[in-house]
Amino acid sequence: MAPKNEYRIQADFIRYLELMYPDLLYTISPAGFIMSAGMAMKMMRMGYRKGTPDVMIFEPRGQWHGLLIEFKDPKGVVSEAQKEFLATASSRGYATAVCYSTSSAISLVESYLSGASSSNAKAGPPIPQATPQR
């Protein structure tokens, strides 16, 4: 399971989305849950990919098809698989970010949904990573 801090950051963010944007189309990745080796293999056979971001928002804005967010504890490290997934998604028209706090994720989604992030984004690069807040 994800570190407790990472869990809390993401859970608080999801609670915010549910309250503020009840019709928002989003889902989460099943990564971070403790599961048996058999269940992990089953998930891989069903199409789960290593590095899948924690939250995927399927709301196009500006040039972006959607917003993909990876959550990390303030001391967390983004894995190579996560970096690769986010970079590939960005090159295919998705806004991507790594957030280290609930407040940075809320600011990011507010900016994204208002369209503000698309006005200064250029083709290809992801939305800059949210900086750790300690």
Q: 64-119 pLDDT, tens per residue? A: 999 999 999 999 999 999 999 999 999 999 999 999 999 999 999 999 999 875 43
Task: Tell me how far apart the alpha carbons of residues 22 and 17 are, in angstroms, rounded to a whole number.
Answer: 7
The model's pLDDT over 48-66, given as tens digits with 9 standing for 90+, comes to 678 999 999 999 999 999 9
Q: Which domains does the chain have, with CATH numbers?
A: 4-120 (3.40.1350.10)
% pLDDT > 90, the chain: 65
Query: What pLDDT sits at residue 94?
Result: 97
Query: What pLDDT sits at residue 36?
Result: 79
Judged against a pLDDT cut of 80, whether residue 121 lies above it is answered with: no
95-99 and 55-57 strand pairing: unpaired
Query: What pLDDT sits at residue 116?
Result: 74
114: exposed, middle or buried (C-beta count within 10 Å: 0-12, 13-18, 19+)?
Answer: exposed
Pair of tokens at residue 93 = 């028209």
Task: Tell me how far apart the alpha carbons of residues 121 and 134 are, in angstroms, rounded to a whole number.
Answer: 27
Residues β-bridged to residue 67: 57, 95
pTM for the model:
0.80
67-71 and 95-99 strand pairing: parallel
Residues β-bridged to residue 95: 67
